[in-house]
Structure 1
């Protein structure tokens, strides 16, 4: 679509997370009239650290926001996988993308703050919880709790794993429990027992447990993440310090000490879910993006990165296609094969022995198709 056509396209993005904010930036640069609707009454992101891959950072350069992200992150040269006791298993550089060779390690809160900070004032509307979306072919109507309605030529459903847009228009299947819990905390580097030595991600693998150490040296902090097999599917489970320590039995004593010293009130605890692949992501005027389209397990570190790549691919498709309808078809054709494969690989995080220990004679649903 040419610039004059795009200037007449009204875009409503549902969700102001990574994918929604990135899509807002990319589509506004094309000249579209973009508004973002977020159900939260204030912006922010709980959790810990993530790695922004070279392809993601390439998009940020393309959109002119690289410096805003780099300012609150640390460039990493490689990642390392070790046994529970620290024996080397694998060490590799990050996959290069053109001139980009580094992955940037960033706190989730800093990331979303930086993304929202590069959007024009007034573009993001807080306190808008989506109630219904009506697809009328060449346009759609959003109705929010409280009765406010919005019409748009293009609706982007970037509303996460529990997406209202996906459920109402594309798939009524709910999130799938993976059989895992994730425990995440951010600690001072001074409390990391000397394990923050550079800007590179390290993963320690024990039986039924993985520990991720992601340095945030620009903050003098480290993201300390434990993923452990567990049959409790409660969305926000309650665990004790003893429960936490059991997951790291036999690990490097420094890791055990970090876990022992955690303030449980600062630990983000959740059961881990993804979704089964969604057959169709779009109609003529509505499209899914990020976790709403392909929420995946975190083993490959591709959740946020895939959302950014979706936003870039959607913008590319709109710039190149002759209509919104054609652009959405092109976008799905480009991105869905990639994310389907990432979802599949991400479900292969555990051995048969590990799964049988926790789920005798069966697999969690998320592992059944792996």
Structure 2
């Protein structure tokens, strides 16, 4: 689209997470001036746990001019280790894919979700973030859309980007009414101080411990914060969104694991543990109309085993801006975006569902080299 068309485009982004924030920054960089990010939370907070931002994602930060801000609140990792639950066998120790694929070496950056969202919020165009805006209704008028929020505000936009997560209202209204799919797992996550980690943190590289019972203990060091992001993912038939837990229950999931991992579970304040059933969604056939499009988890929520959810959402934000820069109209841009991204995310959803077999980890990054 021509620069004057981009400058006059009214873009409403629903959701201020990874994908929504990335889309706002990327669109701003190509000249879109009227971008509003509508976030339902009344304030941005230090919620969540650790994530790994892959080399391709880091390269986008360099292009957008925000690498230094991200680097200041993250730690560099050069490889991933996958071990047996007891830590005695290293199934895989591999350098992050594409670490050397760019002009500068891009380590994966290990970062707390709250720090990441805050850094991105600071990079957004001034005045673009609108907190306390929960979407309750959306109408597709053909060339524009009308948005209604719980606080009473009504907004018209030329483009609506639905970055509103796995339970997306935008998706269920227009593109798919299929419910999220329970993976038969629970994930228990907490960020703890390194001094309470019993020696699990020795460098900046994540380590995944795989038990014979299907439990996986994910350890992502946040040494720049003096912390460890500690995650236990275990099989379960209970699809309760936020299951209740005890220390004894967590310990029972870790039979045969490295005693340090077990000891952390014994000592956790379970009131501070985020306890969630694990869900993804089946691939969505259509992501867009002529003026509305899905990105991130709204379009392709995937299981966390390959750590690709946040990275895929950020890639979507970059790709949507590229599509607007290349296409001749909004409708063409949204179609180009889906054609570019959907084959990639369909495969990542498939790989993430496959997970790993604790007895045969052949590749730490299947299909991602």
Matching of residue 217 in structure 1 with residue 223 in structure 2? yes
- TM-score normalised according to structure 2 size: 0.93
State the partner residue of 2:165. 160
Match of 1:359? Answer: none
The match for 1:42 is 43
Distance of 1:101 and 1:7 partners within structure 2: 32
Superposed CA RMSD in Å reads 1.3
Q: Which runs of 4+ in 1 moved over 3 A?
A: 350-353
2:343 aligned with 1:337: yes
Offset of 1:351 from its aligned partner?
5.2
After superposition, the C-alpha distances for 1:197-240 in whole angstroms (9 at most, x for unaligned) are: 11101000002100011111101111111100011100011111
- Which of 237, 258, 264 matches 2:264? 258
Q: Deviations over 1:319-368 (max 9, x none)?
A: 11111111111110010000001101111126599xxxxxxxxxxxxxxx
| Contact kept in structure 2, 1:158 and 1:292, CA below 8 Å | yes
> Residues 77-119 of structure 1, C-alpha deviation per residue, up to 9 Å, x if partnerless?
1000000111111100001142343100000111111111111
Q: Partner residue of 1:136?
A: 141
The equivalences for 1:128-277 within 5 A come to 128-206=133-211, 207-277=213-283
Identify which of 91, 94, 97 aligns with 1:95. Answer: 97
Q: Matched residue pairs, number? A: 353
User: Per the alignment, do residues 45 and 176 of structure 1 end up closer, same or farther by CA in structure 2, a change over 3 Å counting?
Assistant: farther
CA distance in 1, matches of 2:335, 2:115: 33
Name the residue aligned to 2:320.
Answer: 314
What's the CA shift string for 1:289-320, capped at 9, x where partnerless?
10000000000000000000000010011011
2:52 aligned residue = 51
Give CA-to-partner distance per residue, 1:135-176, whole Å, 9 cap, x none: 111111111124321111100000000101001011111111
CA distance in 1, matches of 2:235, 2:105: 35
**Residues 277-292 of structure 1 aligned to structure 2 (within 5 Å):** 277-292=283-298
Q: Which residue of 2 aligns with 1:15?
A: 15
Consecutive unaligned residues in structure 1, runs of 5 or more? 354-370
TM-score computed with the length of structure 1 as normaliser: 0.93
Q: Deviations over 1:112-135 (max 9, x none)?
A: 111111113321111111111111
- In 2, the alpha carbon distance for the partners of 1:10 and 1:253 equals 55
2:351 & 2:357 partners in 1: Cα distance?
13
1:16-69 alpha-carbon deviations (Å, 9 max, x no partner): 111111111111222211011111111125221000000001111111111111
- 1:367 paired residue number: none
CA distance in 2 between partners of 1:208 and 1:109 (Å): 29
* Residue matched to 2:331: 325
- What is the distance in 2 between the residues matched to 1:44 and 1:13? 19
- Secondary structure at the aligned position of 1:347 is classed as helix
**Partner SS, residue 45 of structure 2:** coil
Aligned partners of 1:316 and 1:45: how far apart in 2? 31
Query: Equivalents in 1 of 2:140, 2:267: separation in Å?
Result: 52
Q: Residue in 1 aligned with 2:5? A: 5
Kindly indicate whether residue 87 of structure 2 is the aligned counterpart of residue 82 of structure 1.
no
Q: Contact 1:37/1:128 (CA < 8 Å) preserved in 2?
A: yes
Q: Is the 8 A contact 1:55 1:100 kept in 2?
A: no
Contact 1:178–1:274 (Cα < 8 Å) also in 2: yes
Instruction: Give structure 2 stretches of 5+ with no counterpart.
Output: 360-369
Alignment check: 8 A CA contact 1:137 1:284 kept: yes
Contact 1:58-1:100 at 8 Å conserved across structures: no
Confirm or deny: 8 A CA contact 1:94 1:101 kept in the other structure.
no
C-alpha separation in 2, matches of 1:46 and 1:244: 21
